[in-house]
Amino acid sequence: MSASDVIHSPAQRRRSLPLAPYLEPNDSKLQFDQQQQQDHHGNHAQQQPRTSMLIEDEVHGVIELQSHIQEIVAHPLFQRLKHVHQLGVIPWVFDKRADHTRYDHCLGVYKSAQDHLRAIERNSHYEPKLPDWCRQAVEIAALLHDIGHGPVSHTWELASHHEFDHEKNAMACVDTIFKDALNPELVSLRDEGGGRGVQLIKALILGCTEMLSFPMLGHTYIFDIVHNRRCGLDVDKWDYLRRDNKRLKILNSAEMDFDDVFLQARISPDGQRIEYRYADYHRIYRLFEARSLLHVKAYQYPLTCAVDVIFSKAVQRVAPELFNIRSTDPKWLQLIDDYVLNVIERDPLSRYVKEPQRIVEVPSNDSSGSDIIRVRRIIPGPWELMKSKDFALFGNKRNKRPITPCESPTIVSKCFKLQ
């Protein structure tokens, strides 16, 4: 380890890089000083960049950031993610320990992409080798895949009636980060080959090869890494299932035994996709089962859904204009969880977000009125999610273990009274 390497504890990590310039959440004007952002980049240009930096992560142990990745992480748009909860309202109403952020998750997906890519290369010895600029694009796409999330993550999209799209918003974030780029590696991705590097990063985030104006020439498999539209096995899911469960402590180690799905996979002989072992088929099912269980027991737990509804109503009534803010707006950096919580304090409903114990379940057949919140969700079973996926398998088919598929959905139908 060189003298320039630094290991940060989880507590230190949140102040290891300069925070995005932002006003306190009680500033209702959401003003932003453009000069502060210019000063941030001006000062950054004068600093001597370290070759690498080590960050301690609760899931991955140590994550190494090269200088060009450090520049991205130091950007105000990425620093904003420190103030956006990964699990939306869950840390307020379900489990205060689950207060990890999109910042943590994005760093974890970056590391997961590195681990997955190294594994498939090691397992397949595929030729031709992946060009360095493509490797950088995969890693940066993993790092920036959630850069466009609004406050309280997916709850914001629900509250906006899905008018807000975090992936579409991410495209503008990527453009801004590369427009501000100073590191030669980032400038090369932006300027060389007609901007092919940035184009590939955006296409990988969306999982859409059609966005490319050039052929991948035997490396289309990288589109299965960050956002796998083909079968859903991607490093985004690999990180969030591990990270969320580490905080929520819902599933045991046996139920979370699916790492080999990613670590034993390989590149297909034609380079078009990633293939998974027959011997790991039961682990693929286990991954989808883990996802389904976390939806039932946390993500779409009845009380979580009720607070989602309450939060959404409060924002819609008090400040619907916030849903129109996008990353190109200077106000975007201020649009974080605490700011929105402060804004909706003007609505009496907001008290239930902070005091969920006042939301009491009641029988659904004899309750009506403005103080009643009804929740209905249909959560697909793991087999329902998995059976329609297009998996490419390799190895000895006899090693494919039998599974007991659960196809039945979980029906959530609850009624709550606001006290």
How many helices and strands, by DSSP H and E, does the chain display? 18, 9
Lowest-confidence region among 17-31, 189-203, 338-352: 17-31
Which whole number is the average pLDDT over 249-260?
A: 98
- Quote the pLDDT of residue 365: 74
Burial label for 217, CB within 10 Å (0-12, 13-18, 19+), is exposed
| Structural contact between residues 265 and 120, judged by C-beta atoms closer than 8 angstroms | yes
Residue 4 lies in a domain: no
φ, ψ for residue 375 (rounded to 5)? -125, 125
Q: Three-state SS string across 105-160, please?
A: HHHHHHHHHHHHHHHHHHHHCCCCCCCHHHHHHHHHHHHHCCCCCCCCCHHHHHHC
- Quote the pLDDT of residue 367: 66
Lowest-confidence region among 34-43, 373-382, 385-394, 403-412: 34-43
Whether 403 shows a pLDDT value over 60: the answer reads yes
| Structural contact between residues 77 and 333, judged by C-beta atoms closer than 8 angstroms | yes
d(CA 295, CA 293): 5
Residue 231 lies in a domain: yes
Whether 248 shows a pLDDT value over 50: the answer reads yes
Q: Of 318 and 27, which is predicted with more confidence? A: 318
φ, ψ for residue 400 (rounded to 5)? -75, 110
pLDDT band at 94 (very low <50, low <70, confident <90, very high): confident
Whether 86 shows a pLDDT value over 70: the answer reads yes
Which whole number is the average pLDDT over 187-204?
A: 97
Whether 200 shows a pLDDT value over 90: the answer reads yes
Which whole number is the average pLDDT over 109-137?
A: 97
Q: What percent of the chain has pLDDT over 70?
A: 88
pLDDT band at 366 (very low <50, low <70, confident <90, very high): low
- Quote the pLDDT of residue 6: 37
Which whole number is the average pLDDT over 258-283?
A: 98
Residue 96 lies in a domain: yes
Whether 33 shows a pLDDT value over 80: the answer reads no
* DSSP-assigned states of every residue in 266-330: EE-TTSSSEEEEGGGHHHHHHHHHHHHHHIIIIIT-HHHHHHHHHHHHHHHHH-GGGGG--TTSG
DSSP 18: P
Query: pLDDT per residue over 305-325, tens digit each?
Result: 999 999 999 999 999 999 999
Lowest-confidence region among 13-22, 187-196, 286-295, 391-400: 13-22
Whether 35 shows a pLDDT value over 90: the answer reads no
Residue 413: HSE in the Cβ half-sphere, 13 Å Cα cutoff: 5
Residue 365 lies in a domain: no
Rounded to two decimals, the pTM is 0.88
d(CA 352, CA 371): 11
- Quote the pLDDT of residue 50: 54
Lowest-confidence region among 12-21, 136-145, 269-278: 12-21
Number of domains in the chain: 1
Average pLDDT in the chain: 89
Lowest-confidence region among 41-55, 335-349, 351-365: 41-55
Residue 35 lies in a domain: yes
The domain in which residue 67 lies consists of: 15-356
Which whole number is the average pLDDT over 207-219?
A: 95
Which whole number is the average pLDDT over 320-334?
A: 97
Residue 247: HSE in the Cβ half-sphere, 13 Å Cα cutoff: 24
pLDDT band at 142 (very low <50, low <70, confident <90, very high): very high
Sheet hosting strand 372-379, strand order edge to edge: 359-362, 410-418, 372-379
Whether 48 shows a pLDDT value over 60: the answer reads no
Beta pairing partners, 275 = 266
Residue 372 lies in a domain: no
- CATH code (residue 240): 1.10.3210.10
Residue 392 lies in a domain: no
Residue 389 lies in a domain: no
